[in-house]
Chain A
């Protein structure tokens, strides 16, 4: 048995610990009054709960409700919510220190033990005390509910242990009216169990809400079932066995006592002696026949439940040599094999057993777990070693299998101390021999491993390896070149030496180092089925290397990697972490296959089937969906037939795959997935697919899209599309120029006719210039009454008749007109009629993958060509192919150090990771990937004006980057502020200040600084568009803030507009004042709006309107002096009985929205469009405008909606 520490926290003295039943959390109660919440897997403190005055002594987390109870020297029990991280309520009643508090598993009860010599039961639903148990005549140190029986067991410094029967209380509790009775009794000062007034049978211990110090005078039905006496000094702790009638108590007399009970009889079974000081806590191991105790003698001891003998003593090194490290509390995790202890210097979480079964996966699966039974893939027992005394107290560490001799080689650890040597056993598996027990060769060693058909090697010490034959005879002894911690199999005649800084491939025959790779602390090595690659597993990383130990790729995880396994066919590595099953490709790409309910060790993977071992040593089969990695593999190996098959046949969609494709340089394939026209346009342009681009742009209909398309078309020399675009945009100048440069005279002439029809003088002039048609120009100048110019032009172009006529008509003196010499060259002939077909200037990377599929099947050369057209980094990706692709790929050859170095850093950059795993704009901003952030913002909330967001972008970018100084003369080390429980994504500032900023804006409203207020609300909207939150509640809050900002901005835009009106525009003035009342504002502000409307309406003698607003006003304010005045005015207006003087566009009955641009009503039946961020409604005619509320989003943009959580 070994103690494996998983987590340690350092703090002041801890007095209690408790696990969360489902999350990786442990609560630690400190003597200094704080309660800490730690994530023991990450080693990070999550939260701290302050509130107790004085030391906290007891803690318990509810098994199903997300809450916990604490108690301490302030005589209070406090119940806290873990989901909301706050105090729910306190329970008062104890009159001295409260030592422990525990929840009941089913009933809403808490039992507490106190120095006031009582045990109390509380109902946490009604938050009331329901019973007090008195009887102990010294401090009560601990009280717990029995896990199965209706009993409370309590221990006291009076040296006794009492068991209380609470079955009556349970029955009464179930009866109706119980809690009401508790109330009555508490009020009347009664001293009895509810519903049991009167008769008091003597000789029974009593209870009652107020009878704290009562003796046996009063009645109760909570009888003492039995009293355990035997400890010499005070009893400190008690634990009950989950299934058997055992009670274990710890005492200040340095012993533990095991008791057994049956009905109301109980007796001492044994005393466990060994601790050298007071025993502070004890517990039954959740599944082994072991009990555990801890003491102020600074040790944890484990004892055999059956023989009651000491198994092992654990003493950890003191944190500080001079100060003691006493143990104060001990708890097991309710579900996982973990325990936690509280010490003077903090808390620790540990386990006693290794849970990983030792296994060998090939050629067939064999494994052995804690139960010492060797099993095969069908969970059949191959050899049962549990009955063999030689294996008693030995733990299997490693298994090796020789199929030729059908023999297993097991490395075992006694695990008593860190330094103790392991041993190995050769176990023949022949069926006939199953009866004969194998003998354990207890030679001391570190590890043993088969290396060939009839030889195995034994790592005797870090620098010495022995080779032995099947008779366990030594054949050779080798000195190793490195300090080897573990050995792993390799190809025939070789062994992998796993040292602390490197992995060495060692040739046993020639005693030579064949290859060496610098990787630290490799724990396991797994070879691919072909033997071409090896996966080296570290704690958080997997390094994939070739058989010459050249690094191919590396996979990083933030949590521990539990196991890895190669797929039987594809070059894919399947691996498991604590809670996920994942895959990794040979280029370092990885992804999640599925989540796991329990931790599993993956031992085999074949297509959809994964074989895994549980911690309970059972083999099981899992189904996975391999589509994602098969798709990536197909891409990487340019197997487009497979790609298209996967696209067509499976539901492979989503943001992640699209961004993956885009990032990896396959925009043309990403195009196949995308429906959103805007994204399609981007991707089509990026991949040069103008056909799709022009279709999409036509569908999108916006000058911005046309511009993108035009640029792309121009780059590719595709003037047909350019022509379409310019026609659509009615950009005739550019169109004319296109016709000119492509020599399309006929179209130019058509354009000239068009210009005449449209009476577009400048276009006519331009086309006539391009066409060199002087007649048209003369006519044009004549029309424009520029006779001298017309004359000059006619004359210089040799149009004499025309010129003469002009002279006559316009009385121009020919001498006054100076005519420059004119070049008489005739119109140049068109050398090349470019317009007849497009003039490709750039080869697009367009690849129609569906066509490709057929190509790659029928014609291998075609595929090769296409491969070339795939963007640059695809070449790196090709590396990830495996030997299955055939020898001609010659992977090792292509592998160059530099490429890998680049690839690795790309995978591991912190900010790249943010971009990779998140689709929140805020995360992309924080990563400095502004362009993708723009894309997301435009896709999600239709942002069209980005420049206003610049300041916010820089804020978000800088707010999560800090730095610390390290080694002198070097640049400082960057540190990233992260968010969320797993601390992966960046911290995004702004959420915490939203409320303050709203209040600030409200204050500006109050002080009538409306412009400022509107700016403030807008700036809040900018923040909300680029924010990230961690839970649903916060998400909802942000949306509420957006709604508020929208209402306020529109309301005060209306008011500002009204104030700027000329005083004579009475109608608009009243209208705006009326609209001002429409958006939902806070009451205090709504009143302002209504008063404005009333004043404006009554001034204009619109009395019925004024009266309408007055009654609205009175709904909000009915008691103030103003309200009184308002009532009077209203009755005056009502009695006026005149029609409104000014007719305005305002319906007092119908519901309507107000268009923020035109500030006019949108009634339900009118066509409208919506702005994506705030949801503000606009008239359909304002489609495509910049939103007047936000100032940076587009009205009517197609958008998926604001995303705030990753």
Chain B
């Protein structure tokens, strides 16, 4: 259980939402913000709204829209010249709606906000702009003070920028502070990039409690690399479960299978 703000942040950014939600630190707006975000991330919208409704700041207005997943009304909040935390949430809602450019535009005015850096890095990587993401991290390094958000953001970039070893150090450190499936996944992926497949398999065991698309996709790749035929079968079946029917990776696989069949038809002699 998280007992200090630092602990709560560590837990939040390494994906340990349960600890964040259960943290008992009263009267701290940052903790309440993270709790609300954790609840939203785990789709417990009702409880999130309960926390959010305790206050009436622009941040809470933004969080409310985030919980309800609505983009209408965001611009009004933005017009009131809100603080960085609020802008970050607004940008996040736009990003969820796929409006990445808009999100980046909002974030560009968030000076010295690690949340903003993290979100920017994530968006850049989704847009495959690795050097831009690297630039964000480099620019933030001097003032980030080794904060957990910065480390997680840096690890993301490292994985895409041929620096898996560094990413591994970060995930390993996070895992040693507070072991979470999310950090274990990072550890497993970085070990895989470093071609230490047995170690990666060991690390990915730490994700077993987490039913998540990224875990399945990564485990699948790792088992394919090691030719663990039965596990591959199992994972492919898991991915067919209905809860992942709209997951990007699953759709991609379906598309690729169709693409293959189409190509076969085209090449049929």
Instruction: Report which of A931, A950, A975 forms a contact with B160, defined as CB distance below 8 A.
Output: A975
Q: Beyond the given A934-B266, A966-B121, A977-B193, could you list 6 further A-B residue pairs with CB under 8 A, ordered by the A residue number?
A: A703-B269, A910-B128, A928-B252, A962-B217, A970-B92, A977-B192
Interface CB pairs A-B, < 8 A, 7? A43-B162, A44-B162, A539-B131, A910-B128, A950-B264, A964-B189, A978-B162
Q: When the two chains form their complex, are residues A963 and B249 in contact, meaning their CB atoms are under 8 A apart?
A: yes
Q: Which of A43, A957, A964, A973 contacts B166 (CB 8 A)?
A: A43
A930 at interface, CB cutoff 8 A? yes
Which residues from B are CB-within-8-Å of A971?
126, 248
Min Cβ gap B175→A in Å is 13
What is the CB-to-nearest-CB distance from B174 to chain A, in angstroms, rounded to a whole number?
12
Q: Quote the shortest CB–CB distance from A557 to chain B (angstroms).
A: 9
Residues of B within 8 A of A45 (CB): 165, 194
Closest residue of chain A to B157, judged by CB? A973
Q: Which residues of A616-633 have CB atoms within 8 Å of chain B's CB atoms?
A: none
Tell whether, in the assembled complex, residue A946 and residue B221 are in contact, meaning their CB atoms are under 8 Å apart: no
Q: Which residues of A contact B257 (CB under 8 A)?
A: 950, 954
Any B CB within 8 A of the CB of A538:
yes
Contact residues, B86-113 vs A (CB, 8 A): 92, 95-96, 108
Alpha-carbon distance between A950 and B192 when the two chains are bound, in angstroms: 25
Question: Which segment, of B51-59, B76-84, B132-140, faces chain A?
Answer: B132-140
A707 / chain B contacts, CB cutoff of 8 Å: 269
* Listed stretches B3-11, B21-29, B222-230; interface member: B222-230
Choice from A944, A959, A974, A990 contacting B269 with Cβ under 8 Å: A944
Instruction: Give the docked Cα–Cα distance between A974 and B123 (Å).
Output: 11
Query: In the complex, what's the smallest C-beta–C-beta distance from A198 to chain B, in angstroms?
Result: 58
Inter-chain contact B186/A968, CB cutoff 8 Å: no
Interface set, chain A 490-544, CB cutoff 8 A to B: 500-501, 518, 520-521, 538-541
Given contacts A930-B263, A963-B213, A964-B159, contact A521 B121 (CB under 8 A): no
B116 vs chain A, min Cβ distance (A):
10
Q: Looking at the complex, which one of A704, A954, A965 makes contact with B256 (CB distance below 8 Å)?
A: A954
Q: Which residue in B37, B156, B256 is a CB contact (below 8 Å) of A928?
A: B256
Q: Mark A685-729, 1 if CB is under 8 A from B, else 0.
A: 000000000000000001110010000000000000000000000
Determine whether the beta carbon of A950 is less than 8 Å from that of B260. yes
The residues of A that contact B193 with a CB separation of less than 8 Å are 975, 977-978
A-contacting residues, B163-182, CB 8 Å: 163-166, 169, 182
CA distance A934 to B269 in the complex (A): 13
Q: Is the CB of A961 within 8 A of B131?
A: no
Chain B CB count within 10 A is highest, among A43, A520, A977, A987, for A977
Select one of B128, B266, B268 contacting A909, CB under 8 A: B128
In the complex, are the beta carbons of B139 and A500 less than 8 A apart? yes
Write the chain A residue with the least CB distance to B235.
Answer: A958
Q: CB-CB < 8 A to B163: which residues of A?
A: 43-44
Tell me which residues across on chain B come within 8 A of A518, comparing CB atoms: 108
B129 touches A (CB below 8 Å): yes
Do B96 and A970 touch across chains, with their CB atoms under 8 A apart?
yes
A23-63 contact mask (Cβ, 8 Å, vs B): 1 or 0: 00000000000000000001111000000000000000000
B260 pairs with A965, CB closer than 8 A: no
CB of B218 within 8 A of chain A?
Answer: yes
Per-residue 0/1 for B124-160: is the Cβ within 8 Å of any A Cβ (1 yes, 0 no)?
0111110110010011000000000000110110011
Query: For the complex, what is the distance from the CA of A997 to the CA of B227, rounded to whole Å?
Result: 10
Complex Cα gap A969–B42 (Å): 9
Distance in angstroms between the alpha carbons of A961 and B252 in the assembled complex: 11
Minimum Cβ distance to chain A for residue B142 (Å): 10
Chain B residues, CB < 8 A from A997:
227
Query: Chain A: which residue is nearest B218 at the CB level?
Result: A962
From B156, B194, B259, give the contact of A973 (CB < 8 A): B156
Q: Across chains A and B, which 8 residue pairs bring their CB atoms closest together, nearest first?
A: A704-B269, A972-B214, A520-B135, A959-B224, A963-B214, A968-B41, A962-B218, A967-B122
B: interface residue count bin: 35 or more
Give per-residue flags for A349-369: 1 if the beta carbon is below 8 A from chain B beta carbons, else 0.
000000000000000000000
Is the CB–CB distance between A989 and B224 below 8 Å?
yes
Most A Cβ at <10 Å: residue of B119, B135, B249: B135
Chain B residue with Cβ nearest A932:
B263
Prevailing SS type, chain B contact patch: helix
User: Are A969 and B131 also in contact (CB < 8 A) when A962-B217, A989-B225 are?
Assistant: no
Chain A residues positioned under 8 Å from B260 (CB to CB): 930, 946, 950, 953-954
- Closest B residue to A901 by beta carbon equals B101
Q: Within the complex, what minimum Cβ distance (angstroms) separates A933 from chain B?
A: 8
In Å, the complex CA distance between A978 and B162 comes to 9
State the Cβ distance, B219 to closest chain A Cβ, in Å. Answer: 9
- Chain A window 892-923, contacts with chain B (Cβ cutoff 8 Å), 1 for yes, 0 for no: 00000000000001001110000000000000
Contact A964 B214 (CB under 8 A): yes
How far apart are the CA atoms of A969 and B40 in the complex, in Å? 8
With A963-B214, A970-B95, A993-B227 as known contacts, state yes or no: A938 contacts B267, CB within 8 Å. Answer: yes
Knowing A541-B131, A962-B192 touch, does A987 contact B225 (C-beta < 8 A)? Answer: yes
CB distance from A724 to the nearest CB of B (A): 19
Q: Tell me if A558 is interfacial: C-beta within 8 Å of chain B.
A: yes
Instruction: Please provide the chain B residues from 7 to 35 with a CB less than 8 Å away from any CB of chain A in the complex.
Output: 15, 17
CA of A996 to CA of B227, assembled, Å? 10
CB-nearest residue of chain B relative to A978? B193
**Docked-complex contact B221 and A959, CB < 8 angstroms:** yes
> Would A975 and B189 be within 8 Å (CB), given that A944-B269, A954-B256 are in contact?
yes
Cβ distance B98 to chain A, nearest Cβ, rounded Å: 10
Closest A residue to B219 by beta carbon equals A962
Contacts of B123 in A (CB 8 A): 970
Q: Is A1138 interfacial (CB-CB < 8 Å)?
A: no
Chain B residues within 8 Å of A9, by CB = 165
Query: Which of chain B's residues have a CB closer than 8 A to the CB of A953?
Result: 260
Known: A521-B138, A910-B128, A947-B264. A965 touches B185 (CB 8 A): yes
In the complex, A10 has a CB within 8 A of chain B = yes
Residues of A within 8 A of B156 (CB): 964, 966, 973
Q: A946 touching B263 by the CB < 8 A rule?
A: yes
Which A residues touch B155, using CB under 8 A? 964
Residues of A within 8 A of B159 (CB): 964, 973, 975
User: In the bound complex, what is the Cα–Cα distance between A461 and B27 (angstroms)?
Assistant: 44
B1 within 8 A of A: no
Docked-complex contact A970 and B126, CB < 8 angstroms: yes
Contact call A967/B266, Cβ cutoff below 8 A: no
Chain B 187-225 interface 0/1 with A at a Cβ cutoff of 8 Å (1 = within): 001001110000000000000000011100110111011
User: Quick check: is A277 within 8 A (CB to CB) of the other chain?
Assistant: no
A482 to chain B, nearest CB (A): 13
A962 — which chain B residues lie within 8 A by C-beta? 189, 192, 214, 217-218, 221-222
Minimum CB–CB distance for A24 against chain B, Å? 13
Once A962-B189, A975-B159 are accepted as A-B contacts, the answer to whether A538 and B131 lie under 8 Å apart by CB is yes
Judging by beta carbons under 8 Å apart, are B225 and A977 in contact?
yes
Question: Known: A947-B264, A973-B160. Is A964-B131 also a contact (CB below 8 A)?
Answer: no
Contacts A44-B165, A908-B128, A975-B159 given; does A966 touch B256 at CB 8 Å: no
Separation of A966 and B13 alpha carbons in the complex (Å): 8
A796 an interface residue at 8 Å Cβ cutoff? Answer: no
User: Chain B nearest CB: distance from A367 CB in Å?
Assistant: 29
CA distance A704 to B266 in the complex (A): 11
Given A520-B132, A930-B256, A954-B256, A959-B139 contact (CB < 8 Å)? no
Inter-chain contacts of B122 with A (CB < 8 A): 966-967, 970, 973
For A704, what are the chain B residues with a Cβ–Cβ distance below 8 Å?
A: 268-269
Determine the chain A residues whose CB is within 8 A of the CB of B92 once the complex forms: 967, 969-970
B227 touches A989 (CB 8 A): yes
Please tell me if the beta carbons of B169 and A10 are within 8 angstroms of each other in the complex.
yes
- Alpha-carbon gap, A934 to B266, bound state (A): 10
Q: B131 near A540 (CB under 8 angstroms)?
A: yes
Closest to A997 in B: B227
Are A959's CB and B225's CB within 8 A?
Answer: yes
Residues of B within 8 A of A770 (CB): none
A43, A540, A702, A974 — which one has the most chain B CB atoms within 10 A of its CB? A974
